[in-house]
């Protein structure tokens, strides 16, 4: 699937990213676009999912830096995006395999396998969707689905400003500390993470009929 098209942005404003996904999902539905993987980063912002609450945003300013807030339309609660975090939007066609739970499982597995390549043990947790390392969340998952075409995806912390997470109740859990690849002692770049990620994405998300 992702050998066909991988779209990469160094950084992208969140509204522009949402427009890009909406346009591509519409194209996949009518057959003018193929499923794809979008790799990007965003300026600092908090996104509110369909289960999120305004009260989960504790502060819109951290260390003198203003952080924007957007309603995302994805499933889940409140999460943070910012520089140093690799956001992976997976636009997948599930019309031949309409199982959203399995899709989320694959998203988590993509991150778990990528982390393992760097010697980090990522796991699932009964506490919630996403990937965790030693009880700390390293990747958030949020998915939206339209006519069995998925969008949104995973945000993997490589080296973001972890203090920015203090402005929210991440994923609705007040006692859910976060971590990053760098915080786990592995000093890799985004490029190095992408090189490991893409083969796992290709294996886990075959194209229609694959």
Neighbours of 52 (CB within 10 A): 25
- Show the low-confidence residues of the chain (pLDDT under 50): 1-3, 208-210
Catalytic residue among 67, 92, 138, 171: 171
Residue with tokens 């289960």: 51
Phi/psi at 50 (nearest 5 deg)? Answer: -65, -20
Structure pTM? Answer: 0.91
Cα–Cα distance measured from residue 180 to residue 136, given in angstroms and rounded to the nearest whole number: 9
Res 54: pLDDT: 73
Res 208: pLDDT: 45
Positive/negative CA dihedral, 49, 53, 58, 60: positive
Catalytic residue flag (residue 171): yes
Which top CATH class is 6-204?
A: alpha beta
pLDDT tens-digit readout, 133-143:
999 999 999 89
């Amino acid at each position: 699937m992702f050998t066909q098209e991988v779209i990469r942005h160094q950084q992208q404003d969140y509204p522009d990213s949402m427009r890009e996904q909406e346009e591509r999902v519409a194209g996949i539905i009518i057959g003018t676009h193929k499923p794809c993987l979008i790799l990007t980063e965003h300026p600092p912002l908090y996104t509110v999912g369909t289960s999120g609450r305004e009260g989960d945003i504790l502060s819109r300013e951290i260390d003198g830096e203003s952080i924007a807030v957007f309603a995302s339309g994805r499933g889940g609660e409140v999460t943070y995006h910012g520089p140093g975090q690799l956001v992976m939007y997976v636009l997948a066609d599930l019309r031949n395999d309409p199982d959203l739970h399995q899709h989320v499982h694959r998203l988590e597995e993509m991150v778990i396998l990528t982390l393992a390549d760097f010697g980090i043990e990522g796991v699932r947790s009964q506490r919630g969707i996403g990937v965790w390392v030693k009880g700390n969340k390293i990747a958030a998952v949020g998915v939206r689905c339209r006519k069995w075409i998925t969008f949104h995806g995973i945000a993997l912390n490589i080296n973001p400003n972890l203090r920015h997470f203090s402005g929210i109740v991440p994923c609705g859990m007040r006692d859910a500390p976060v971590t990053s690849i760098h915080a786990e002692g592995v000093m890799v770049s985004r490029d190095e993470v992408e090189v490991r990620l893409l083969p796992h994405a290709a294996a886990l998300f075959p194209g229609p009929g694959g």
